[in-house]
Copies of this chain bind each other. A is one copy, B any other.
Amino acid sequence: MGMSDHTKDALPSWNNGKAKQSILDFVKRVTTPGGEDFVPAAERIATFDNDGTLWAEQPNYFQFLFALDRVTALAAQHPEWKHKEPFASMLKGDLEGALASGEHALIGVVTETHSGVTTEEFEKIVKDWFTTARHPKFERPYTDFAYQPMRELLAHLRDNGFKTFIVSGSGVEFMRVFAEEVYGIPPHQVIGSTGKQKFELRTGKPVLVKLPEVEFLDDKEGKPISIQKFIGRRPIAAFGNSDGDLQMMQWTAAGSGARFCLYIHHTDAEREWAYDRQATHGRLDKGLDEAQDRGWTVVDMKRDWKIIFP
């Protein structure tokens, strides 16, 4: 409970203002014993989207950039990819062309490049990728793109008895490789999209093989469903940045007692990126309207964050 020292600023990377104050106020209300909004520690569940909320998602979702690299690595084993979109565009380095194939085709690429290996093999592939891969624009490891203000927020919530969960559209086995180190979130508190798996005994040794089939997409309506399935308790606080997080917010807000919903608005084209209603991915449109209508906190990255990356 290191942060309970009131002389210390729990959120030093946040500029003083409405957004920061709304967080501090909410945490104080639900943790003040005897207060009318007090929530027992076991019920202090906070859920966070990952891409665009806890770390950057440009020029595309990092998992998609990983899948791109996997396409290159696996191309020799898949000669048919040369003539099959979106693989063909990817192999030519034409990201725009690949994206033109649409979301369904891109999910297919992720599914195909994330299967045919055991869960242990996949973990090692992702771990190695994070060690060597560099962000195309900033040429730094992808894990450097976690938002420092959000890391402080995660720590502040945990210091106040909250359990912090990731609830993301990304693949759960991709995120678990970095979530504990980068966010302090253990594997069993990372929830994401899943692919089907098969249990096999290989010469007596059990393995789990990743199959090329989506099991569950943890996005939009999928988020409250996943929260119910994995956590089994309604969050009292939810954090997101896109319309894909709206149903999670609605589900969170609809519980009784004190509730907190916060949208990150990407407004800083210089230090990060600026995008919202027109974005092809990470679009924030309906969510922004609903946040304004319902008085949810909207973080203006440019105005509210002193620093963005550590």
List residues of chain A with CB under 8 Å of any chain B CB.
42, 119, 163, 165, 172-173, 176, 180, 186-190, 194, 197-199, 201, 205-206, 208, 221, 224-225, 228-233, 247, 250-251, 254
| Residues of the B chain whose Cβ atoms lie less than 8 Å from the Cβ of A233 | 186-188
B188 pairs with A230, CB closer than 8 A: yes
B251 pairs with A206, CB closer than 8 A: yes
A228 pairs with B247, CB closer than 8 A: no
A188 pairs with B189, CB closer than 8 A: yes
A247 pairs with B189, CB closer than 8 A: no
| Residues of the B chain whose Cβ atoms lie less than 8 Å from the Cβ of A251 | 199, 206, 208
Q: How far is the CB of A198 from chain B (nearest CB, A)?
A: 8
> From A197, which residue of chain B is reached at the shortest CB distance?
B225
Given A199-B221, A206-B251, A232-B163 contact (CB < 8 Å): no
B188 pairs with A232, CB closer than 8 A: yes
> From A249, which residue of chain B is reached at the shortest CB distance?
B206
| Residues of the B chain whose Cβ atoms lie less than 8 Å from the Cβ of A173 | 228, 232
> From A195, which residue of chain B is reached at the shortest CB distance?
B229
Given A206-B254, A247-B206, A250-B206, A231-B199 contact (CB < 8 Å): no
Q: How far is the CB of A221 from chain B (nearest CB, A)?
A: 4
A224 pairs with B247, CB closer than 8 A: no
B230 pairs with A230, CB closer than 8 A: yes
| Residues of the B chain whose Cβ atoms lie less than 8 Å from the Cβ of A231 | 187-188
Tell me the bound Cα distance from A188 to B163 in angstroms.
10
> From A199, which residue of chain B is reached at the shortest CB distance?
B221
Tell me the bound Cα distance from A250 to B189 in angstroms.
24
Tell me the bound Cα distance from A52 to B73 in angstroms.
48
A254 pairs with B205, CB closer than 8 A: yes
Q: How far is the CB of A251 from chain B (nearest CB, A)?
A: 5
Q: How far is the CB of A236 from chain B (nearest CB, A)?
A: 14
Tell me the bound Cα distance from A228 to B120 in angstroms.
10
Tell me the bound Cα distance from A246 to B247 in angstroms.
38
| Residues of the B chain whose Cβ atoms lie less than 8 Å from the Cβ of A250 | 201, 206
| 4 further contact pairs, Cβ within 8 A, besides A119-B228, A199-B251, A206-B250 | A42-B186, A172-B232, A190-B232, A199-B225
A232 pairs with B199, CB closer than 8 A: no
Indicate which residue in B188, B201, B247 contacts A199 across the interface (CB closer than 8 Å).
B247
Q: How far is the CB of A63 from chain B (nearest CB, A)?
A: 16
Tell me the bound Cα distance from A229 to B250 in angstroms.
25
B229 pairs with A194, CB closer than 8 A: yes
| Residues of the B chain whose Cβ atoms lie less than 8 Å from the Cβ of A119 | 228
A232 pairs with B176, CB closer than 8 A: yes
Tell me the bound Cα distance from A221 to B208 in angstroms.
10
> From A222, which residue of chain B is reached at the shortest CB distance?
B199
The 5 closest A-B pairs by CB, nearest first: A187-B232, A199-B221, A188-B231, A176-B232, A206-B250
